[in-house]
Amino acid sequence: MTHARQQIREAFAAQIAGLASAATVYQWRARAIPAAVKKALRVSTPEEAIDNDGELGAAPSRELQIRVEIVVRQADNADDVVDQLCVEVEEAIAADETLGGLLLWCRPTGFEGDILEESAETEMQGALTFGAMYSVALTDVETII
């Protein structure tokens, strides 16, 4: 088995794969996105808070940040393409915010974006963040409960 975070990251990436805008989906440990790739999404789980304040012996709740980095490389309308990818990602996750029962919920919490002026092309990078809640057994962080 794998850590619950990895299971969630993989399920999230699978749920947004095949979007209408045809962006390539990568995960956390992927190397740099190749220059030839014009639209890409990279899913990572950079932060997690664990609440141990529940009842003695109860499984702690975990709030996980899921980050979707968006890279768009093209000459025109990079802002519009990034916004369209945000629409598609948010709607894909809203269709099953439990990721097949792994999570209690998963909802968007923020967005930031920036155009990289030094690029030879118009390149925009953005980050769409989601908050997600789940629990694992105290003695088994591979099994989501």
83: left (phi over 0), alpha (psi -120 to 50) or beta: alpha
The arithmetic mean of pLDDT across residues 113-133, rounded, is: 80
Residues 25, 106, 104, 135, Cα dihedral to 10° = 70
The mean pLDDT of the chain is: 88
- Whole-number pLDDT of residue 31: 73
Question: Which helix (DSSP H) or strand (DSSP E) does residue 9 occupy?
Answer: helix 4-16
Between CA 134 and CA 145 the distance in angstroms is 8
Burial 77-95 (b: 16+ CB within 10 A, else e): ebeebbbbbbebbbebbee
Mean pLDDT, residues 54-69? 82
The pTM for the full model equals 0.89
- pLDDT (average), residues 19-48: 88
Distance from C-alpha of 13 to C-alpha of 16, rounded to nearest angstrom: 5
pLDDT for the residue 22: 85
Residue 74's pLDDT is what?
74
Confidence of residue 52 (pLDDT cuts 50, 70, 90): confident
How far is Cα of residue 62 from the mean position of the Cα atoms in its chain? Answer: 16
Looking at residue 92, its amino acid is A
H or E element in which residue 80 lies: helix 78-94
11-15, 90-94, 134-138: which has the minimum mean pLDDT? 134-138
